[in-house]
Structure 1
Amino acid sequence: MSTVQIASSDLDPFSDEFLAEPYEPHRHLRDAGPVVWLEKYGLWAMARYAEVRAALSDAETYCSSAGVGISDFRREKPWRVPSLLLEADPPEHTRARAVISKALSPATVRGLRDNFRATADKLVDEVVAAGELDAIADFATRFALTAFADAVGLPAAERENLHSYGNMVFNTFGPRNHLFEEAVAGAGPVREWIDAHCQPDLLAPDGLGMRIHRIAAEHGLSTSDSALLLRSFLSAGVDTTVHSLGNAIFCFAENPAEWDALRAEPALARTALDEVIRYESPVQTFFRTTTREVDAGGVRVPAGAKVLLFLGSANRDPRHWDAPDRFSVRRRVAGHVGFGFGIHACVGAVMARLEGEIVLASMAERIGRIEPAGKPRRLLNNTLRGRTHLPVRVVV
C-alpha cells in the first residue's frame, strides 16, 4: 500500500500547449507529488529530480526493452525493429553498448576535434558576414549535417534525411497524436535512405560508421545488427545537436551577461553547454516500464506499469537545483539528466559535448553580442524541445 496519497492530473504532456510551454505544467506535476497518475493516458509520471534520477539508475526495475516511448512492446508491435541500444536491457544492451563505447573511444572522439573546429569556424565566419540569420536553418542544422555526417562517413547527397528521420523517431515515442501521424506520413523514402546508409557499402572506409561495423564484427555481431547500431547513432546524432546549439543561441540572446561571461572565460564553453542542456533540455521525456512493484517516493507503482520520466522538469527541480529557472554558465551543473543517466545514458554524450564546446568557443572568439531579431517559432515534437526558426542578429 502506498504511504502517501496518490496524486492524479488531467494534464496532457503531449498537447501542443504543454509542449510549447512546459515549465508551469512541470511545476504543477512536481508539486503534486513524487509520482503522479496521468488520467488521460492511464500511466504514471515522475517530474522531480530525485525520482527521475533513481528510475534512470535502476535499469532492472525500470526496463527499456518494453519501449522508451508510450507504446508497450510486450503488447504492441513496434513501428520499426527496436534499437539494440535504447530499447534493450542487459545482457543484449551491454554487448551493444560496448561496441559503441569502443567506437567512440576518447581517443577517437579527440581525433574529430580539428574537423569539427574547421566546420565551426567556417560557419561562424559566414554568420558574422551575414549579420542576421536564422540560427536553426542557417547555422545549427548546417553544422550538424556537416560535422556529424562527415564524421560518420556518409555521402554528401540528401543528408537532410537525417534531420527528418530524427524528428520522426522522437515524435513516435509519444502517443498517436497529430505530431506522430504527421511525422510518419510519407516517411517511407526517409526510412529507406537511412536503412541503405547503415550498410557498409555506402560508408566511407575511415568514418565512424565503418568503425562501428568493424568493432561489431569483432564482438560477434552480424552485419544486420551492426547496421541497427549505426541506425541508433544516426537517429540521435543530428536533431539533438541541432536543438542543443539552437537552444544555446536562444539562451545567450536572452541572457547577454552570460554571453559576456563566456567571452571573458572561453574555458567555460563545455560547462555552458551542459547548462544549456539542463536549462532547455533538448530531450524532454523518456518512458520506462516497471518489472516489479516498486516504492517511488512512498507511492507503490505496480509491475508492468509505463512510467513517463520528465527529464526537462527534473533539470529544473528546485528541490535539487538552486535558482533552477536562472541560466548561468558558472553553475555547478554536474548530475543533470539531460543526457539520461545510468546504463542507458546517452552513449554519444562525449561527442555531443565536443561539438557544443567547439561551436561555443568559436562563436565566443568572433561574436561580441547575440541579439533577438524576430519572434522564434517553437518546435512541436513529442519528445524534443527546440525551435524551427530562430532569427538573431550578431555583432562583432
Structure 2
Amino acid sequence: MSSPTIVIGAGVVGAATAYALTARGERVLLVEQHERGHHHGSSHGATRIFRQGYADAEYVALTTRALELWEALEAAGDTTLIDRTGAVDHGRVEVVDAIAAALTDAGIPHETLTPDEAAARWPGIAFEGHVLTHATAGRIHSAEAIELFLTLAERTGLADLRFDTRVTRVEDHGDAVTVTLTAADGGTEAVRTASVVAAVGSWAPTLIGDLLAERGARLPAIRVTQEQPAHFPSHLPDEAWPSFVHWADGDDVYGLLTPGEGVKVGFHGTGPVVDPDHRDFTPVPAEAARLQAYVERFVPGVDASKPTFISCLYDNSPDEDFVIDRRGPITVATGFSGHGFKFAPLLGDMIADLATGGAPHPRFSL
C-alpha cells in the first residue's frame, strides 16, 4: 500500500486539505503540534468574515468558487456554516469604488449608499466616504467549520489524525521525505512519504524554508505578526450587525458580530512581529488604546470601554497573496495574510490537487 500524504497543521487550511484529500480517496496522516481546536495559530475563534468585496477580479472569482464549496460542505455536514448577514465596505473612495467595479464585472449584486443611508440601516456603525453593501457575504462559524472538515475526513476511514504531536525533522530524499514525529510523551516515529503538505502558516519559514531553498525555491519573506482584535459588548440585537470593513485613512479595520461574545473589531495586519513559538498573547497597551478610541468613534453600537482582547497570528506575505506551491514531494501553504479563512474549502481543493500531482495556481506559485 502506498504511503499516506502527511498533512502538517490542523488549522483551517490543513483541515480542509485533509478533507479534500480523503474525498479523493487518498490516505492522510494529519499531524498537529497542539491540541485539537487550539488557540495558538491563525484559525481559532468562533467567527470569521466571508465577503466577496475585493478590488481584484481574480480574488472575486475565487470567492465565488469558495462560496459554492462552502455550500457543498454545509450540505455534507447538514449544517449552516455561513450566516448571510451581508457585508458593508466604507471609507476611501478609490478603494470602495474599485470593489464596486469588480463586483459589477463579476455580476455580483451590490448596493451603494450614502453614509447617512447606511447609518439609518445599521445604527451600530458610523460611516464615512463611499459605502457599498453586498448580500452574499456574512459570518462563518469558523470553529465549527474546522471541526466539520476534520470530522468528515475521519468518517472516510482514510484519515489518521494526531494532535499534540510535533514535527521535529523533515529529511529530503529527492523523491520522498522522512518526517520525524514526536508525541507529547516523548515517543518518536519516522514516517516516509512521497507527499507532505506543510499547511503550517506562520511556521512555514522555520519548518521547510531551508528544504525549499535547497530545491531552488525560496519562500517570500513571511512576516509573522501577533494581532490583537477585541470583542466589545453590543447595545443592539444580533440582527443589527453586518460584517464590515472600513478602508480608513490610517489602518484598515474589520468587524463582525460573534454571537454571545460581542462585536469583534480589529486593525488589519498592524501587530508586532513575533516568533510563533514564543509570544506573550498580551495586547500592546498603546495599540489597545488606539483600537478603543477607534471603536468609540466609529462603532457607536458597542461599549468601547469594555473590550475583551483576542490574540492571533497573521502569516503575512509581502503582497498579501497566498503562497501555495510544490517542489518534489513538498507542498507548502502559507502567506494567508489575515484574509485566507473565507477561501478554506477552495484552498483545501487547490492544495489537494497539488499534492496529488496537479499544477499550482500561477498567482500563488513560488
TM-score bracket for the superposition, by shorter chain length:
under 0.3
> Larger relative CO (CA 8 A, sep 6+): 1 or 2?
1
Larger % of helix: which? Answer: 1
TM-score (norm 1): 0.23
Structure (1/2) with the larger strand percentage: 2
